[in-house]
């Protein structure tokens, strides 16, 4: 029996400002639309272009002097419409230079003199770093070009460099880890991104102003890499890309086990504990090749265990492997999680075939995990649920920011939000685990709402579109990037239906694979594919400083559900009404009941005399103030 009738009422004028029908675009996005590089249907514009580079790198790890020595030849392709008058090189390791600006703690013993750039040659001309027009901004180095680089032409850059590897334990993504294990990322001079969205005075589209301070992760072009890595005898190397000289580095026993791992879903112990005293290597120069990837990194150790397996994806086998310390507590299980991850991401969520031929998880890092294309650098800490979460999350980053080249310095919430959303789905679907949980009776994993409730009333809360580089407080990063963005994505998927959401999301990835999408491209793609204007939702949840707060009141024979405060976000309504005769009923309204700017809705009570209580669901809907969500009649 239906006990209640909804009397929907819009009791407040429609606001077309903060939550109206036009998306609150930034001026640089409007200019990109004007220039034809982006569009309001969410597709790349007809004039969308991006640059790329071919890197040929030779790098040597000297474990005795604890230094990296490298040489590289770069061919940079200017595929944009603009002539380039300068080139910007990123020297990430200058983050450890004395006096550098940093947003994470660095132990004094890890401070060094920065990247030694011994040689830079541009188009056969040696460059002196003392040159008066050379400029540095943090870890970025801008070098003027003798002749502007016209569109559709290439530039040759050659560099030789070295730097000291950070050795002391701390939370960092690259360096020395326990007991002769090294993970080397952010190690080579890298050409910055020149795009249609950045604008630095005198630098045009270079992302020169955003330098590496520690927390921001990637914004890179899609490049081709050929990398030769020299390590001391007896060290194995795991890296981005395909190993092209495996017969020169492995003996036949390793090659046979590898071959087996590449053809089975079972786990193959490529190096077991029994193998550790044996010398199963035939060389120490490792050659890797990777095309169309946004970065390159490698891990190396001389005493690690190595598990390998593979999984069928889209009529091909993806090689999945894990390299770890023999004393690692959780790692013997990681190969199973990694294999499940590649299968799940390919077939379930996001349901897009894993984009690369391999996925390696390397046991380095302290206190967390860090993704690089095709290889993750992860700790061995916490508990089983954390290890499952971290293993999945870091592999899943191969979709964002690697398959779609999101600018994490600006829009970190995009890649972390989408990745963590997939992680929550995986934990729930495969293990019935809610990492953030606690919420009893929950029928889906939404413990994250509780964490959101807790943080969004603090000064750590910020508008999601607010530039990521400007939110460099180490404490709020996890909340702002990894927790907060998941909430609107979950609510949006619930409103439009999971299947439709997934379809639109997959279309976004198809449109922007190998390109640089902004949040506007994501939002406009969702509108376009779902055939509806959701700008009221994107504006409220991403462009504003809103918070979730609804409350209820009784007015005569009516229940009033209100959004409390001018910035209260649109939320789904879920009411439970109890009667004195022991019966109860629930009433649910989707979030778009607020889409025209309504501030309150009115619901008629059919049997007011018998009313016992009314309550708003605060478990499955985020809400910062629970005191106004329950009315009991005495």
Residue numbers of the site for Zn ion (CB under 5 A)? 416
Candidates 492, 470, 490; CA nearest to 480 is 470
User: For residues 180 and 301, what is the distance between their CA atoms, to the nearest angstrom?
Assistant: 6
Candidates 400, 390, 338; CA nearest to 369 is 390
Q: How far are the Cα atoms of 109, 330, 356, 359 from residue 241, in angstroms, in the given order? A: 33, 26, 8, 9
Candidates 120, 20, 26, 5; CA nearest to 74 is 120
> By C-beta, is 226 or 416 nearer to Zn ion?
416
Question: What's the closest the beta carbon of residue 415 comes to Zn ion, in angstroms?
Answer: 7
> By C-beta, is 341 or 539 nearer to Zn ion?
341
Question: What's the closest the beta carbon of residue 486 comes to Zn ion, in angstroms?
Answer: 11
Q: Are 127 and 170 in contact (CB under 8 A)?
A: no
Q: Are 25 and 40 in contact (CB under 8 A)?
A: no
Give bridge partners of residue 59 from the DSSP assignment.
Answer: 70, 229
Question: What's the closest the beta carbon of residue 98 comes to Zn ion, in angstroms?
Answer: 30
> By C-beta, is 416 or 461 nearer to Zn ion?
416
Q: What angle in degrees, to the nearest 10, is found between the helix axes of 519-530 and 408-431?
A: 50
Please state whether beta strands 285-293 and 223-230 pair in parallel, antiparallel, or not at all (unpaired): antiparallel
> By C-beta, is 207 or 394 nearer to Zn ion?
394
Question: What's the closest the beta carbon of residue 482 comes to Zn ion, in angstroms?
Answer: 6
Handedness of CA 493, 499, 502, 508 (dihedral sign): negative
User: For residues 380 and 392, what is the distance between their CA atoms, to the nearest angstrom?
Assistant: 14
Q: Are 578 and 610 in contact (CB under 8 A)?
A: no
Question: What's the closest the beta carbon of residue 396 comes to Zn ion, in angstroms?
Answer: 8
Question: What's the closest the beta carbon of residue 397 comes to Zn ion, in angstroms?
Answer: 6
User: For residues 343 and 395, what is the distance between their CA atoms, to the nearest angstrom?
Assistant: 11
Residue with the CB atom nearest Zn ion in the bound state: 416
Question: What's the closest the beta carbon of residue 368 comes to Zn ion, in angstroms?
Answer: 9
Please state whether beta strands 573-579 and 611-616 pair in parallel, antiparallel, or not at all (unpaired): antiparallel
> By C-beta, is 218 or 235 nearer to Zn ion?
218
Q: How far are the Cα atoms of 241, 457, 525 from residue 295, in angstroms, in the given order? A: 10, 37, 27
> By C-beta, is 352 or 552 nearer to Zn ion?
352
Q: What is the DSSP letter of 617?
A: -
> By C-beta, is 198 or 416 nearer to Zn ion?
416
In this structure, what token pair is assigned to residue 454? Answer: 């807790």
Q: Are 297 and 239 in contact (CB under 8 A)?
A: yes
Question: What's the closest the beta carbon of residue 195 comes to Zn ion, in angstroms?
Answer: 22
Question: What's the closest the beta carbon of residue 378 comes to Zn ion, in angstroms?
Answer: 11
> By C-beta, is 182 or 218 nearer to Zn ion?
218
Candidates 258, 260, 242; CA nearest to 250 is 258
User: For residues 446 and 487, what is the distance between their CA atoms, to the nearest angstrom?
Assistant: 9
> By C-beta, is 195 or 416 nearer to Zn ion?
416
> By C-beta, is 281 or 387 nearer to Zn ion?
387
Question: What's the closest the beta carbon of residue 58 comes to Zn ion, in angstroms?
Answer: 31
Candidates 190, 172, 188, 210; CA nearest to 76 is 190
Question: What's the closest the beta carbon of residue 162 comes to Zn ion, in angstroms?
Answer: 30
> By C-beta, is 369 or 622 nearer to Zn ion?
369
Helix (H) or strand (E) holding 498: helix 498-512
């Amino acid at each position: 029996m239906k006990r209640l009738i909804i009397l929907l009422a819009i009791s407040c004028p429609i606001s077309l400002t903060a939550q109206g029908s036009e998306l609150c675009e930034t001026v640089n996005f409007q200019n990109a639309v004007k220039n034809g590089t982006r569009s309001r249907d969410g597709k790349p514009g007809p004039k969308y272009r991006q640059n790329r580079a071919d890197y040929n790198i030779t790098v040597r790890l000297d474990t005795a002097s604890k230094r990296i020595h490298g040489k590289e030849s770069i061919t940079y392709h200017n595929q944009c419409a603009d002539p380039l008058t300068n080139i910007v090189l990123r020297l990430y390791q200058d983050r450890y230079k004395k006096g550098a600006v940093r947003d994470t703690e660095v132990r004094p013993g890890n401070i060094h003199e920065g990247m030694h750039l011994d040689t830079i040659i541009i188009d056969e001309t040696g460059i002196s770093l003392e040159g008066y027009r050379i400029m540095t901004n943090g870890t970025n180095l801008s070098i003027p070009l003798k002749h502007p680089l016209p569109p559709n032409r290439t530039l040759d850059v050659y560099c030789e460099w070295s730097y000291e590897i950070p050795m002391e334990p701390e939370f960092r993504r690259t360096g020395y880890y326990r007991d002769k294990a090294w993970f080397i990322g952010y190690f080579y001079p890298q050409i910055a991104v020149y795009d249609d969205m950045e604008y630095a005075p005198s630098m045009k589209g270079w992302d020169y102003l955003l330098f590496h301070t520690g927390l921001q992760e990637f914004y890179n072009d899609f490049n081709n890499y050929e990398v030769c890595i020299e390590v001391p005898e007896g060290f194995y190397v795991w890296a981005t890309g395909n190993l092209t000289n495996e017969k020169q580095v492995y003996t036949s026993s390793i090659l046979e086990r590898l071959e087996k791992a590449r053809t089975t879903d079972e786990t193959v112990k490529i190096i077991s504990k029994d193998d550790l005293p044996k010398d199963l290597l035939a060389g120490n120069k490792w050659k890797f090749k990777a095309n169309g990837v946004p970065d390159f990194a490698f891990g190396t150790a001389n005493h690690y265990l190595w598990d390998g397996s593979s999984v069928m994806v889209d009529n091909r086998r993806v090689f999945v492997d894990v390299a770890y310390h023999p004393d690692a507590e959780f790692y013997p299980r990681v190969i199973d999680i990694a294999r499940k991850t590649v299968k799940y991401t390919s077939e379930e969520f996001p349901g897009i075939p894993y984009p690369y031929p391999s996925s390696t998880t390397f046991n380095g890092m302290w206190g967390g995990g860090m993704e690089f294309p095709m290889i993750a650098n992860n700790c061995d800490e916490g508990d089983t649920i954390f290890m499952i979460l971290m293993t999945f999350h870091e592999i899943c980053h191969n979709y964002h920011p690697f398959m779609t080249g999101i600018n994490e310095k600006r829009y970190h919430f995009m890649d972390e939000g989408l990745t963590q959303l997939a992680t929550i789905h995986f934990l729930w679907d495969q293990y019935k685990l809610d990492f953030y949980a606690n919420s009893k009776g929950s029928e889906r994993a939404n413990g994250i709402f509780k964490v959101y409730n807790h943080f969004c009333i603090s000064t750590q809360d910020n508008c999601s579109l607010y530039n990521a580089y400007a939110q460099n407080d180490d404490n709020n990063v996890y909340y702002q990037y990894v927790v907060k963005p998941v909430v609107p994505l979950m609510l949006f998927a619930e409103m439009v239906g999971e299947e439709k959401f997934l379809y639109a999301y997959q279309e976004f990835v198809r449109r922007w694979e190998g390109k640089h999408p902004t949040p506007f491209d994501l939002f406009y793609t969702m509108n376009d594919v779902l055939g509806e204007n959701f700008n009221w939702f994107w504006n409220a949840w991403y462009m504003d400083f809103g918070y979730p707060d609804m409350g209820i009141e009784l007015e005569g024979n009516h229940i009033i559900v209100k959004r409390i405060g001018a910035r209260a976000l649109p939320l789904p309504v879920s009411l439970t009404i109890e009667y004195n005769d022991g019966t109860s009923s629930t009433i649910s309204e989707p979030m778009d009941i607020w889409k025209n700017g309504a501030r309150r809705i009115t619901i008629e009570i059919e049997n007011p005399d018998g009313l016992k209580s009314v309550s708003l669901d605060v478990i499955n809907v985020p809400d910062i103030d629970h005191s106004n969500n329950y009315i009991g009649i005495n």
